[in-house]
Structure 1
């Protein structure tokens, strides 16, 4: 059976679907579906709920903590979010320092009061300032042109 948004099992990483580009402020607005302990949802374009399981986010590292397998706090100018398990991803540790601009792909563990992700991939984007200046436009473009999400 071909997997669709509605047929995905709840919980876990959905690596067979592309991650949703998200801003932390928008991810904070996602809701936990009642009765479902491991998935988060946002309003879709036609009133249907869209599961938010795997996200792609970018921002500047504000704190690196060695607890829970290296936890990092990141801000994307809309809000702050936390990424757990940064030491478990390839190349996750050498560049994890305050002030670096990074891309994080991760599974959503919590949305409110602050988004929390479990890292799947982390990449240092600090060498090119265009990544940061274009990020909000990329996210907007994704949501405008996506068939499963509203414009954010």
Structure 2
């Protein structure tokens, strides 16, 4: 995912985000936030890494609704992402890397990569701490 963007500059890697964080960051675009990056909010992420539990799968519409500890988000384009041997089903815990399409009324991603993490409960229990730690260290 971290490749060369148009114009020759290096593209940013996916930013780990929680559903509520992504919604807040996208809504406050251009708002002055004292003490953050010289008074401005960090740039909106265009590619994110999110994790959550599958709430529902709409195979006909090629999308799924996921929930993390902060809220829900939609993942589109399920038919364009290799899943390996596993098909998505409610209750699975998955990682999604994707392009942010919108954040209103909730985040919506166009999936680029998905991985089933259900086999190890440590992934779910550590995710919130990983995201918090990352965002505490972003200047």
Of the three residues 124, 145, 149, the one matched with 2:137 is: 145
Runs (5+) with no aligned partner, structure 2: none
Cα distance, 1:92 vs. partner?
Answer: 6.4
Of the three residues 23, 27, 30, the one matched with 1:31 is: 27
Cα distance, 1:67 vs. partner?
Answer: 3.2
* Aligned twin of 1:66: 59
Q: TM-score, normalised by structure 1?
A: 0.74
- Equivalent residues of 2:95, 2:115 under 8 A apart: yes
CA distance in 2, matches of 1:33, 1:101: 30
Q: What count of residue pairs does the alignment treat as equivalent?
A: 128
Higher helix share: 2
**Alignment pair present for 1:48 and 2:40:** yes
Off by >3 Å, runs of 4+ in structure 1: none
Q: Counterparts in 2 of 1:1-150, with a 5 A limit?
A: 16-29=11-24, 30-31=26-27, 45-46=36-37, 47-49=39-41, 50-68=43-61, 70-91=62-83, 94-147=86-139
Report Cα offsets for 1:34-67 as digits up to 9, x if no partner.
8xxxxxx9x6822224121000000000000023
Cα distance, 1:25 vs. partner?
Answer: 0.9
CA distance in 1, matches of 2:115, 2:65: 15
RMSD: 2.6
Runs (5+) with no aligned partner, structure 1: 10-14, 35-40, 148-152
CA distance in 1, matches of 2:69, 2:103: 16
